[in-house]
Amino acid sequence: MASSIFSASSAIGVQVRHGASRFWVALKLLSEHGKLRRAALIPTLLTLVGCLVFAYFDMDDDASDPSWRRFLAAFAALTALPPTFLMPLWVKLALESRHVLTAAPGDSDILNSSYFRMLKTEWMKVARQAFIVSIGVFPILLLSKLLSLPDLIYQLAAGLWAFYWMVLDAIDLPLEVAPGKLGIASPSWFEQGFAAVKLGWFARAIARFATPWRHAIHFTERHPAATTGFAIAAGLCLLNPIIGVFFRSLALVAATCLIVDDEQALAIERSLAANELPAG
């Protein structure tokens, strides 16, 4: 099935539905496997507690901005960022996701790093992502001003750009724990795009900050339809306040499902290619 989904002959609509359905598969896995469910609940509940504390200490008398709204804003902000303080717990969830999918065991070397080194790496990724999202909005703003486009167009494009990075974050960690070394990834589509329009200096600046996500970006480039379906389902989950609370856990398991599908498809392709080699 994996090979038919990811093959060039597979219909785009089928691939989109497959990517979106990974969230349903993830929800089913979480409901059926207690160890996976516990691995998801612990970091989710700790994040909730942190947001509740933030909302409590940020209370004021402004009735137009109740504490529950500040709580949701804090939770949404944390969901959009790369994992930081709870990184080891999210890694364990990604590894357990591979286990319940009966995929090849994930690479747990990331857990062998010291916690503070891991924390430093993740906070650097937060800073990098903030820069990329901010600087990426600049060409959108410039173009909207030059073409006198309505503000709504700019806001929509900027929102999609930020959401794109949220989806990349969901895919990034499952790729990191996938078995085997990732190696050096090719430049991303937007790096190549800026270079093509003679903005090489801008492309180099973006490349410097986008390096940690190159493999996730490359995955979306290889499977644009499936990842589009994945992104649509992710957006619908965020629209639901209850499901949105568990978004990171659900998205991480769903992304692992998609990546394992890709691994199985590649394994089948390699097997078929080996069988077609002439004997001797």
Each residue of 83-94: pLDDT tens digit? 677 888 999 999
Whether residue 62 has pLDDT greater than 60: no
pLDDT of the residue at 94: 94
Residues 107-123 have a mean pLDDT of 81
Cβ burial 157-176 (10 Å sphere, 16+ → b, else e): bbeebebbbbbbbbbbbbbb
- Answer whether 0.75 is exceeded by the pTM: yes
The backbone torsions φ and ψ at residue 8, rounded to the nearest 5 degrees and listed phi first, read -65, -25
> HSE (CB half, 13 Å, CA atoms) of 204?
4
Q: Is 240 left (phi over 0), alpha (psi -120 to 50) or beta?
A: beta
pLDDT digits (tens, 9 = 90+) for 8-41: 557 888 899 999 999 999 999 999 999 999 999 9
Whether residue 175 has pLDDT greater than 50: yes
pLDDT of the residue at 201: 74
- Percent of the chain residues topping a pLDDT of 90: 28
Collapsed DSSP state (helix, strand, coil) of residue 193: helix
> How far apart, in whole angstroms, are the C-alpha atoms of residue 189 and residue 13?
23
